[in-house]
């Protein structure tokens, strides 16, 4: 639903001591008052709970909880022993808990991001478009809100925003995947067939690659999947560790008529590597000589993605696209750091080797797909709209005990379109798919708002829990010959002042600014007299709860001479997705406020620069909720809809 009208405001200005701290390298929010505030929040939340009639938390695995307020944990993060990424936050285990209420837990559930109806979710799997429906498969634990018993969940959508849960697509029931049906990718063949390759953890915890395919291609919902009787189709090659060989990519067709896939691994424990396998029938594979690419010091590569982008194009490309005017993106999820890195380069289709354009920005040592809480991303080519779509997993940053209490864990980002940034020639551009704009309701416009140095401006939009924000900033005056000591990167967060910043918006904040999450630009003077800009998100004061991860995230973002500073921010309860400069730098944040929830959530502008004012123009939409629910098989209308596709 589009906005029916827009209004403009000229908000009043006030100064905020919270953003006026002197620069300190150890600046962090105080947590000593959490217990005091906890009792107050508890009483207030009881009132909210009565008003909102929040449902009880969904049932979780009773065997994981020993008694109220206590739980047992492994000595290492869950998943490591099974040979897969860490799926928990061990650094938080010894921290004091927080007296969460049902109302707080209920507020944390998102309104328009895909997440499971209940229980645990991680990596996106095999996204594809088939007979009018977008399909998303995902790593899922049907039994609990913590990682384990990994199966493939399945959901479909007509528009990538409103989703229907479907029955499980694949379960671990064979010797070659009995310890988990792990991450995989779909390939759409020219004759209309669909093949799905996925990693299985065998009865001996060996990671192998398996083949599956739909039982009925005429079914638009692809409800039934068959596993190839001859699985596994690829086993770890000689010299590769049995538990470090996973996550096959979408296949692409080479000039010799055979298909190729890549699988992530490592050599000598430290060299991240993408192997290439060749096949003509998807059941028999040959390991090609050499590797697609490898980078020393980056560790295990998982969830590798490899796809083409057009240098001068405005549409996405099928994974098989080759030829002039095309670059190739190589992306890897680094198991050691839990960060997705990418690089742009050139693929030699004869030697099956990929070379980065800039070796100093190679995979794992340069650009990140997302600079925040984000991992295991995967793209697919949407043939219906000629675009490449990116999904990413966003995990929780609270404790496993909290997840068990609320009965669910993890979300997927809003699907993003991906294009080559031909203005810089060095970056990708990620942008929320256009369909999310269908959720926009009433819009509010703020024009040319002057935000003085060291001040905060409230934006009168009412409740600010579900928003789509477009904001543009202009520095009013440049200060010549600034000698102020300026520390590179995002510093210690929004309190870390310099000549030109930070400036931006405060989301999920309460009126008193006791809880807030700044999304901001931080321009810095560099030696040649120009500005180098960082795009950042500061979670350090996002919650009074002590047992959640709260970090400062961000990275460098190119701002060209003919550009102002611009950002887009999607706010959806406990997740904030921020896109700097058209999506050159992207940050996903998880926040768990205790007071800035429901009607108390507010939005502000801020400028903590020490010497310059900024002028801001914004357009802000309240966002509707998406319909995400089980597929209504019993409803005739939907049966007819499926039949018509």
pLDDT digits (tens, 9 = 90+) for 462-504: 999 999 999 999 998 777 655 555 667 898 999 999 999 999 9
Note the pTM of the prediction, 2 decimals. 0.88
Q: 519: which strand partners?
A: 505, 537
Domain 439-623 class, CATH top level: mainly beta
Q: 199: which strand partners?
A: 209
pLDDT digits (tens, 9 = 90+) for 530-563: 889 999 999 999 999 999 999 999 999 999 999 9
Residues ≥6 apart with Cβ < 8 Å to 561: none
635 falls in which pLDDT band (50, 70, 90)?
A: confident
Query: Is a pLDDT exceeding 90 seen at residue 35?
Result: no
Query: Is a pLDDT exceeding 50 seen at residue 70?
Result: no
pLDDT at 25: 33
pLDDT at 200: 98
Label the pairing between strands 602-607 and 503-509: antiparallel
123 is catalytic: yes
pLDDT at 85: 75
Domain boundaries, given as residue ranges, for the chain:
123-432, 439-623
- Closest C-alpha to 599, from 52, 40, 189, 215: 52
pLDDT at 90: 60
pLDDT at 19: 57
Average pLDDT over residues 580-592: 98
* Rounded Cα–Cα distance for residues 201 and 172 (Å): 9
pLDDT at 484: 57
In order of 10, 233, 442, 469, the CA distances from 7 in angstroms are 10, 60, 9, 15
pLDDT at 641: 61
241 falls in which pLDDT band (50, 70, 90)?
A: very high
Average pLDDT over residues 327-331: 98
172 or 480, greater pLDDT: 172
Q: Which of 10, 123, 191, 496 is catalytic?
A: 123
187 falls in which pLDDT band (50, 70, 90)?
A: very high
Residues ≥6 apart with Cβ < 8 Å to 62: none
3-state secondary structure 492-529: CCCCCCCCCCCEEEEEEECCCCCCCEEEEEEEEECCCC
638 falls in which pLDDT band (50, 70, 90)?
A: low
SS3 state of residue 341: strand
Residues ≥6 apart with Cβ < 8 Å to 642: 220, 221
In order of 119, 221, 322, 534, 574, the CA distances from 111 in angstroms are 17, 24, 40, 29, 10
Average pLDDT over residues 273-278: 98
* Rounded Cα–Cα distance for residues 148 and 119 (Å): 10
Average pLDDT over residues 223-227: 98
Q: Which of 14-23, 37-46, 549-558 has the lowest mean pLDDT?
A: 37-46
pLDDT digits (tens, 9 = 90+) for 407-454: 999 999 999 999 999 999 999 999 999 999 999 999 999 999 999 999
526 falls in which pLDDT band (50, 70, 90)?
A: confident
* Rounded Cα–Cα distance for residues 167 and 169 (Å): 6
CATH of region 123-432, choose from 3.30.300.30, 2.115.10.20, 3.30.70.2860, 2.60.120.380: 2.115.10.20
Label the pairing between strands 503-509 and 70-71: unpaired
| Residue 247 and residue 263 in contact, taking contact as beta carbons nearer than 8 Å | yes
Q: 263: which strand partners?
A: 275
Query: Is a pLDDT exceeding 70 seen at residue 161?
Result: yes
């Amino acid at each position: 639903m589009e906005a029916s009208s827009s209004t403009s405001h000229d908000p009043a200005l006030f100064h905020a001591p919270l953003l006026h701290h002197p620069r300190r390298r150890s600046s962090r929010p105080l947590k000593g008052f959490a217990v005091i505030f906890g009792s107050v929040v508890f009483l207030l939340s009881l009132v909210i709970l009565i008003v909102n009639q929040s449902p009880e938390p969904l049932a979780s695995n009773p065997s994981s909880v020993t008694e109220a307020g206590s739980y047992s944990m492994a000595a290492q993060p869950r998943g490591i022993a099974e040979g897969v990424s860490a799926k928990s936050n061990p650094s938080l285990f010894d921290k004091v808990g927080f007296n969460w209420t049902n109302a707080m837990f209920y507020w944390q559930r998102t309104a328009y991001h895909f997440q499971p109806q209940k229980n645990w979710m991680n990596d996106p799997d095999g996204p594809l478009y088939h007979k009018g429906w977008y399909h998303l498969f995902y790593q899922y634990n049907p039994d609990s809100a913590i990682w384990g018993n990994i199966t493939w969940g399945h959901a479909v959508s007509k528009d990538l925003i409103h989703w229907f849960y479907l029955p499980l697509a694949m379960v671990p029931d064979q010797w070659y995947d009995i310890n988990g049906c792990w991450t995989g990718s779909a390939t759409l063949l020219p004759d209309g067939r669909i093949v799905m390759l996925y990693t299985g953890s065998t009865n001996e915890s060996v990671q192998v690659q398996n083949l599956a395919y739909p039982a009925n291609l005429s079914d638009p919902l692809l409800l039934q999947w068959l596993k190839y009787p001859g699985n596994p189709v690829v086993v770890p090659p000689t010299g590769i560790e049995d538990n470090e060989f996973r996550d096959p990519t979408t296949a692409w067709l080479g000039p010799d008529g055979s298909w190729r896939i890549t699988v992530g691994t490592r050599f000598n424990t430290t060299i991240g590597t993408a192997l290439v396998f060749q096949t003509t029938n998807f059941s028999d594979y040959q390991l090609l000589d050499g590797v697609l690419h490898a980078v020393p010091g980056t560790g295990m590569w998982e969830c590798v993605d490899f796809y083409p982008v057009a240098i001068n194009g405005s549409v996405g490309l099928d994974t098989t696209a080759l030829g002039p005017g095309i670059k190739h993106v190589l992306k890897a999820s680094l198991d050691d750091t839990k960060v997705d890195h990418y690089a742009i380069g050139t693929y030699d289709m004869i030697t099956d080797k990929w070379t980065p354009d800039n070796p100093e920005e190679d995979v794992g040592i340069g650009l990140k797909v997302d600079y925040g809480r984000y991992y295991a991303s995967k793209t697919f080519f949407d043939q219906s709209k000629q675009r490449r779509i990116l999904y990413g997993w966003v995990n929780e940053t609270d404790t496993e005990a909290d997840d068990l209490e609320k009965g669910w864990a993890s979300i997927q980002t809003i699907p993003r379109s991906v294009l080559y940034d031909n203005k810089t020639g060095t970056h990708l551009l990620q942008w929320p798919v256009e369909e999310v704009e269908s959720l926009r309701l009433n819009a509010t416009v703020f024009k040319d708002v002057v935000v003085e140095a060291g001040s905060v401006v409230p934006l009168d939009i009412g409740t600010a829990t579900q928003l789509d924000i477009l904001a543009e900033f202009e520095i009013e005056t440049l200060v010549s010959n600034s000698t102020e000591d300026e520390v590179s990167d995002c510093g210690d967060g929004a309190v870390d002042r310099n000549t030109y910043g930070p400036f931006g918006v405060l989301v999920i904040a309460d009126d008193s600014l006791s809880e807030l999450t700044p999304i901001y630009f931080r321009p810095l003077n560099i030696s040649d007299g120009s500005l180098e800009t960082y795009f950042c998100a500061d979670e350090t004061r996002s919650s009074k709860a002590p047992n959640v991860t709260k970090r400062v995230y961000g990275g460098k973002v190119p701002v060209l001479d003919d550009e102002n500073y611009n950002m887009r921010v999607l706010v959806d309860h406990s997740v904030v997705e921020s896109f700097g400069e058209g999506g050159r730098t992207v940050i996903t944040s998880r926040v768990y406020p205790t007071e800035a929830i429901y009607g108390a959530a507010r939005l502000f502008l801020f400028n903590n620069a020490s010497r310059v004012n900024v002028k801001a123009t914004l357009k802000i939409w309240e966002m509707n909720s998406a319909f995400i629910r089980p597929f209504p098989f019993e409803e005739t209308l939907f049966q007819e809809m499926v039949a018509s596709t």
